[in-house]
Amino acid sequence: MRTCCYNGESANAVLFRHFFESDSLSRFYGIGLAVCLGLTAAGCSGPATTPPREIAYVRGAAVPLRDQLGPAANLTGNLESGEEVEVLAKRPRWAQVRSARGQTGWVQSRLLAPREVHDQFRSVAAQAGSLPSQGKALLRREANLHLEPRREAETFYRLPEGEEMDVVAHRVAERPSPSLPSRSSPPAEEGLEPPASADLAVQPLEDWFLVRASRGRTGWLLENFLDMNVPVEVARYREGLRIRAWFVIHREMDDGVERPWYLWASIRPVSGFPFDFDEIRVFVWNPARDRYETAYRERNLIGFYPIRVGSQETPGGPAPSFALQREDETGKRFEKAYVMAGRMVRRTP
């Protein structure tokens, strides 16, 4: 069989050279590159990724839940303080949320706290969990718990009026002064300094309590939001003092009625002292007179939390006891223990 030749080349060689020298080669490479890129993209692409769930926590008490935004909105329920919700959508000043109970609706964004704030309050609760209670207190009015003992600190839980809680710590903080408009004053004479303002020299202080409420809700409250829940039969002896701690140290029965003995620690009604109490007092029941009487009173102390109460073995058997953290004139702290001897109190060495 004869093969056609062109200038000494076979027909197959001519076709091969024509293909690689023409635009056909560029088109071939372009098609191949597109196919490869398509296969690569198909191999690398996985299932569509979903954005992570945004979790928030309710920072108010009984936050209302609305079914929609606008004047036609209806209330569909309430979210509890500290409740966890999932954020579904956001609008200016509003967020659509879904609770763990399946409730869905709109709430004001300012009433939601991020996870970081929730975790910070849980950390405070964990640290306060080991602190002994210094007495039960009642909340005078609805109030927010603060992360730190200052008014500008982050808030989270909101407690209702009448909530009972344990007081576990006390701190003193500077009270923010309201900014006053500056007054124009004549320039001082050369070489003379203007007198310092007395208002600037004194920074008001205020007292804060670290409290532990039900369900682990823990945070700081101003002292004037609380009343120590001292039983009324001895509370009438407070004489204008602030009760800072109180305890039942013994229980006795009188004609079938329980009559507890009480210890309290108090302080003068002045804010900002750098200690927790300056006086203690013990009350016992006098069955002969059918009333409470003072068994022991000690004033002018520099005392600190925690006060610990318990029982101590004595020659006459177990007796109520308590111990105070005190400070002497040099600033050295020490523990002083006391034990009941009958209806009297004596210090232990």
Distance CA 110, CA 209 (A): 25
Structure token digits, residue 296? 């022991």
Query: Does residue 282 sit within a domain?
Result: yes
Residue at which a domain ends, from 70, 95, 112: 112
Domain of 295? 230-349
Residue at which a domain ends, from 112, 127, 151: 112
CB atoms inside a 10 Å sphere around CB 274? 10
**CATH code: domain of residue 82:** 2.30.30.40
Q: Is there a contact between 335 and 301 (Cβ–Cβ < 8 Å)?
A: no
Query: Does residue 344 sit within a domain?
Result: yes
Query: Does residue 243 sit within a domain?
Result: yes
Distance CA 166, CA 216 (A): 11
Query: Does residue 308 sit within a domain?
Result: yes
For 215, residues 6+ apart whose C-beta sits below 8 A from its C-beta are 82
3-state secondary structure labels for all residues of 161-200: CCCEEEEEEEEEEECCCCCCCCCCCCCCCCCCCCCCCHHH
DSSP element (H, E) containing 119: helix 115-128
CB atoms inside a 10 Å sphere around CB 336? 15
Specify whether the backbone of 88 is left (phi greater than 0), alpha (psi in -120 to 50) or beta. Answer: alpha
Query: Does residue 12 sit within a domain?
Result: no
Query: Does residue 278 sit within a domain?
Result: yes
Q: Which pTM was predicted?
A: 0.77
Query: Which amino acid makes up residue 145?
Result: L
Buried b (16+ CB within 10 A) or exposed e, 292-323: beebbebeebbbbbbbebeeeeeeeeebbbbb
Query: Which amino acid makes up residue 7?
Result: N
Q: What tens-digit pLDDT sequence spans the chain (349 residues)?
A: 444 444 555 544 444 444 344 454 444 444 454 444 454 445 445 556 677 889 999 997 789 999 999 999 999 999 988 899 999 999 999 999 999 999 999 999 999 999 999 999 999 999 999 999 999 999 999 999 999 999 999 999 999 999 999 999 999 999 987 654 444 444 444 444 544 444 444 579 999 999 999 999 999 999 999 999 999 999 999 999 999 999 999 999 999 999 999 999 999 999 999 999 999 999 999 999 999 999 999 999 999 999 999 999 998 899 999 999 999 999 999 999 999 999 999 998 7
Query: For the chain, how many structural domains are there in total?
Result: 2
